[in-house]
Amino acid sequence: MVVTKLTRQDIEDLALGATVLGTGGGGDPYIGKLMAIQALERGGEIELMDPDVVDDDAFVVAVAGMGAPVVMIEKTPSGKEAAASLISLEKYFGRKADYIISIEAGGLNSTIPLATAAELKRPVLDGDGMGRAFPELQMVTFHLYGVKATPMSMADEKGNSVILDTVDNFWAEKIARAITVKFGGVAWISIYPMSGRKYKEAAVKYSLTKEIEIGRALNDAKKQGKNPLDVLLDVTRGYHLFTGKIVDVVRRATGGFARGEAVIEGLEDFKGSKLVIRFQNENLIAIRDGEVLASVPDLITVVDKDSARPITTERLKYGLRVAVLGIPCDPKWRSEKALEVVGPKYFGYDIEYVPIEEAVKKWG
């Protein structure tokens, strides 16, 4: 079985790369990274395993933080909350999880499973349920392959816990979101309990390796004397959509989400243009001078113009000089069924999804 024992540097790289793929959401990278590194330093080990060698009847569970990222910055978790949610789900099933997985790519949601894994001594599988981040529970590849989100567990930092068993994944989202709001805006969840067989079929494989690769390239760019933005575009196979200065950010935490938009005024090659990015935890759509450049499910990532370090939606603010990247999503997201779940129409934008590779040809 292919096993990598993650080092502190791996976690640093992974947190950075995951924030790039988190496309504005997926949680704050500092908190999750810190928790994983602390767990490692307390003597825990984090084993990252090849997804293809998992037994068909293994028991696989995703661990994550749920809620508006802006709240998570204010309510720093102790690291016990996510473990508590997994323990409570395991008690409900009467079975321990053989493997922990990450539900999505994101600063927090890629690293919190690592912290839980170190805490509870379980291996992590190299593949999540998105290859990016999305705001709602049913927006995972597991959902597309018929896996139920429930039974799922939720825990808060006070010691409250809940187990949900819903008729479908939309109901799971609806009820879990209301509980998250009552929990104070953040919940720690264990979700999508599934067999190894189903996991292998449905996961976005090797996404954690990809996160480490992206983070490492970005971390190494400076010492190698390379331009960080070029390095990032290269390693993500991304497209440079815009460079500019943020001139306005509107944001509100509502219904358990951080919704809003950022307006960016063009600089350099983009002088005279304006880019608007709309987000719901994650960046959903990028509109330049009234024209849609990129939309979900493709990734829209805002980075610092010079360092190319990703900026999550809760940290967007007036005056920041940024570059905006468009990155192709995993092919699993481009089926008709997938677009019903995560396409622009689901989020209320009445446009057809155009894959970013084609879109760039159009606006050249």
Which tokens in the block code for residue 86?
Answer: 């997994």
Residue pair 282/135 in contact (Cβ under 8 Å)? The answer is: yes
Residue pair 176/247 in contact (Cβ under 8 Å)? The answer is: no
CA 344 – CA 358 distance, rounded (Å): 16
Could you give the dihedral angle defined by the CA atoms of residues 286, 103, 190 and 78, in that order, rounded to the nearest 10 degrees? -70
CA 342 – CA 270 distance, rounded (Å): 29
Q: Least Å distance between CB 183 and its own copies? A: 8
CA 218 – CA 238 distance, rounded (Å): 14
| DSSP bridge pairs for 2 | none
Which tokens in the block code for residue 250?
Answer: 């509107």
CB closer to its own copies out of 164 and 214: 164
Q: Least Å distance between CB 257 and its own copies? A: 15
Q: Least Å distance between CB 213 and its own copies? A: 40
Please count the residues of this chain forming the interface with its own copies, following the rule CB under 8 A: 20
Per-residue x/- marks for its own copies, 153-192, CB under 8 A? -----xxxxxxxxxx---x--xx--xx-xxx---------
Q: Least Å distance between CB 189 and its own copies? A: 13
Cβ neighbourhood burial of 213 (10 Å; 0-12, 13-18, 19+): middle
73 binds its own copies (CB under 8 A): no
Residue pair 117/124 in contact (Cβ under 8 Å)? The answer is: yes
88 binds its own copies (CB under 8 A): yes
CB closer to its own copies out of 88 and 195: 88
CB closer to its own copies out of 150 and 312: 150
Q: Least Å distance between CB 92 and its own copies? A: 7
Among 52, 75, 80, 92, binds its own copies (CB under 8 A): 92
Q: Least Å distance between CB 179 and its own copies? A: 6
Give the interface with its own copies as residue ranges (CB under 8 A): 88, 92, 158-167, 171, 174-175, 178-179, 181-183
